[in-house]
């Protein structure tokens, strides 16, 4: 997390975690260590390292400021490779794809860089109030559109080279995590703009905003029901469903040539704007803002 980050019933088996068939197979030694960790109750250090690497890569892809196309593609490529390994391990352990994806995202969420109001205004040329919120939405929509377009372009290249298509599922998971992180960041920072600050540590606040993102709604800091830091069964189910819907949206990037890039970018942008509109409507109920400096 950057220095600008202000410290932030039954579960259905979604599907099997059939991710990249091109992921490298693990060694027997790794499997033995994992089995031993499961029997002794000791943490899987390899899994912890993988989660940390995923969190760092997603964090870099959601940091303030522009990232050039080459660097973004490189970071997405690295993220895809890490997730391919993780998805294979999830499949081996019998964890459903949706459950695994939700687990990865909840590990990533506390590393999402969330800025306070003063930092937001400074980074957006002194904008305030509704004008600042408008600019945050434009920036986030552009970012998710770019992720979809880059992913679509990569998928288009793989479409005409069938052996490389084996990596596509992990690539889609990478896009899904980055888009979800950008939208959670947007949701959290809109709360800062509207004066609906959520108290707690970075990890606690992250869980509040992950829950809000899964329901596509704003948070009322004065209502205990909306600021729970624990993800209950219903919220976990909503999170898995939201992530799987986002993943399904990215399947459009598997179209031939550049149709995937166009569709992926457009759908991401529209979804981010829809989320922002719903959250801002909730926040305006008790916290309407003046137009602000534009």
C-alpha 26/C-alpha 266 separation (Å) is 37
Tokens of 127: 């904008």
Judge contact between 49 and 135, C-beta under 8 A.
no
Average pLDDT value over all residues in the chain: 76
Tokens of 258: 């550049």
* pLDDT tens-digit readout, 150-204: 755 555 444 444 444 444 578 888 889 999 999 999 999 999 999 998 888 888 8
For residue 45, count other CB atoms closer than 10 A to its CB: 10
C-alpha 256/C-alpha 263 separation (Å) is 11
pTM of the full structure: 0.76
pLDDT average, residue stretch 120-138: 95
Task: Please give the pLDDT value at position 169.
Answer: 74
Length of the chain: 294
pLDDT band at 230 (very low <50, low <70, confident <90, very high): low
Tokens of 267: 């759908």
C-alpha 48/C-alpha 89 separation (Å) is 13
* pLDDT tens-digit readout, 99-110: 889 999 999 999
pLDDT band at 254 (very low <50, low <70, confident <90, very high): low
Task: Please give the pLDDT value at position 220.
Answer: 86
Of 67-81, 125-139, 265-279, 280-294, the least confident = 280-294
Euclidean distance between the first and final Cα of the chain, in Å? 29
Among residues of the chain, what percentage have pLDDT more than 90?
34
Q: Is the pLDDT of residue 142 over 70?
A: yes
Task: Please give the pLDDT value at position 260.
Answer: 54
Q: Is the pLDDT of residue 257 over 60?
A: no
* pLDDT tens-digit readout, 25-55: 333 333 333 333 333 344 455 555 588 899 9
C-alpha 291/C-alpha 294 separation (Å) is 8
Task: Please give the pLDDT value at position 274.
Answer: 96
* Residue 11: closest CA among 75, 69, 97: 97
Task: Please give the pLDDT value at position 272.
Answer: 96
According to DSSP, residue 216 is labeled T
Task: Please give the pLDDT value at position 28.
Answer: 37
């Amino acid at each position: 997390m950057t220095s600008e980050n202000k410290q932030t019933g039954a579960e259905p088996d979604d599907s099997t975690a059939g991710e990249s068939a091109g992921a490298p197979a693990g060694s027997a030694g790794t499997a033995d260590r994992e089995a031993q960790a499961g029997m002794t109750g000791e943490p899987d250090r390899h899994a912890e390292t993988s989660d940390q690497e995923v969190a760092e890569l997603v964090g870099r892809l959601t940091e303030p400021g522009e990232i050039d196309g080459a660097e973004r593609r490189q970071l997405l490529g690295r993220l895809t490779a890490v997730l391919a390994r993780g998805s294979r391990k999830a499949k081996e352990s019998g964890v459903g794809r949706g459950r695994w994806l939700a687990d990865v995202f909840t590990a990533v969420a506390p590393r999402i860089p969330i800025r306070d109001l003063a930092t937001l205004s400074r980074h957006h040329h002194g904008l305030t109030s509704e004008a600042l919120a408008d600019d945050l939405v434009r920036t986030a929509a552009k970012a998710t559109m770019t992720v979809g377009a880059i992913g679509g372009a990569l998928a288009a290249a793989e479409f005409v080279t069938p052996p490389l298509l084996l990596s596509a599922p992990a690539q889609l998971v990478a896009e899904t995590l980055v888009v979800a992180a950008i939208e959670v960041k947007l949701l959290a920072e809109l709360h800062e703009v509207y004066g609906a600050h959520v108290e707690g540590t970075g990890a606690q606040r992250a869980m509040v905003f992950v829950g809000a993102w899964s329901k596509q709604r704003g948070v009322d800091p004065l209502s205990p029901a909306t600021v729970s830091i624990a993800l209950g069964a219903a919220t976990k189910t909503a999170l898995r469903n939201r992530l799987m819907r986002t993943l399904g949206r990215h399947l459009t990037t598997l179209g031939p040539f550049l149709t995937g890039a166009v569709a992926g970018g457009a759908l991401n942008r529209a979804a981010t704007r829809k989320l922002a509109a719903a959250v801002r409507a909730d926040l305006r109920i008790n916290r309407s803002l003046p137009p602000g400096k534009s």
